[in-house]
Amino acid sequence: MRVRARVNGLPPPECEVGAGSLRQSRAFYLPVPWLDIRSGRQPYWHFGTRGFGDIDKADYGLRQFPVIERAGLIWAIVNPDTQLEIEPFLKGYDEVLSTFGFKDWKFFSKRQFKGPNWKLSYDGYLGYYHVPVLHGETFGRDMTNRGVYFTWGPHQHIKTPAMTPGHVATETLGYMAAIADRPEDEWDLETLSYGVWTVFPCISIASFGGGGRGVMISQVIPGERVGESTTFQYYIMENLPATQDLAESAEEQFAFLQEVVEREDIAQA
């Protein structure tokens, strides 16, 4: 699949080409920052020779970001002038993530909320030492604070060596009790994928089981001030819920995970 990503603005004058978070169209129109004196309305101009004359469109198009598709996910660097190359930066992490099969998964829901400094928000995904303290009311005081770390450059996958069977956080924090006593050739990829995956510097992927197999992809974006950030949570599922009960279970799971992050992690940051 060929993917492109472009800056949503075309100077001069500075203006957005499309509005909203999802935009699909064969043609876009640019709102210009002046009014039609006769009608009092803001006109739209089509990008063509009638309005701009005989020009080379390649010289006036939207600036492109570096972008590739790997492991069923779209990776982009939001800087047209970057010297960083995406594939070397991934350090093979995308090959491991491909075991999820995200290319066939389905989008279910999205949420966002404000938080403190982005580094404080992101730190909550990097270890389990805080879990029994901050998440005692949700995950339980018996929750593990130990993690086993696997790294690919600056990216990591963390799961727990604790062996509590059937724990409420089995998928999210990566309890391996279900396969610990089995021969290695019987270990299934789904259980091995449990835990928290982080993509430096601002992405985490956490598994869950409510309503069916799914993950919460969290993206922490710095705010305008040093003490501000916004967390975007994307819930994608291997299969969309087939019944109303499963859909409600998935929504409850998402609400639970948002509470864990927003009201426990972020509130204490």
Give 88-117 pLDDT, tens digit per residue.
Answer: 999 999 999 999 999 999 999 999 989 889
Averaged over 32-54, what is the pLDDT? 54
For 211-226, letters b (16+ CB in 10 Å) and e give bbbbbbbbebebeeee
92: left (phi over 0), alpha (psi -120 to 50) or beta: left
User: 77 or 22, which is more confident?
Assistant: 77
What is the pLDDT at residue 35? 47
Residue 153 pLDDT > 90: yes
How does pLDDT run across 251-267, given as a tens digit for each residue? 998 888 888 787 777 76
Domain spans in the chain, listed from the N-terminal domain onward: 1-65, 105-268
Q: What is the pLDDT of residue 28?
A: 60
Q: Look at residue 255 in the predicted model and tell me its pLDDT.
A: 86
pTM above 0.75, yes or no: yes
Calculate the average pLDDT of the chain.
82
pLDDT of residue 141: 80
Say whether pLDDT at 170 is over 90. no
Question: What pLDDT is attached to residue 72?
Answer: 94
Phi/psi of residue 148, each to 5°? -115, 125
Residue 215 near residue 73 (C-beta atoms within 8 A): no
DSSP state for residue 5 in the 8-state scheme: E
C-alpha to C-alpha distance for 69 and 98, rounded to whole angstroms:
11
**Domain 105-268 indexed as CATH 2.30.30.100:** no
3-state helix vs strand vs coil in the chain, percent to 5: 25, 25, 50
Question: pLDDT of 113-152, one tens digit each?
Answer: 898 899 988 988 898 888 878 877 777 787 788 889 999 9
| Residue 103 CB neighbour total at 10 angstroms | 12
pLDDT digit string, tens, across residues 180-228: 888 999 998 888 899 999 999 999 999 988 899 999 999 999 999 999 9
Question: 45-54 pLDDT, tens per residue?
Answer: 455 556 556 7
- Could you give the CA distance from residue 49 to residue 68 in angstroms, rounded to a whole number? 32
> Burial code of 115-146, b = ≥16 C-beta within 10 A, e = fewer?
bbbbebbbebbbebeebeebbeebbeeebbee
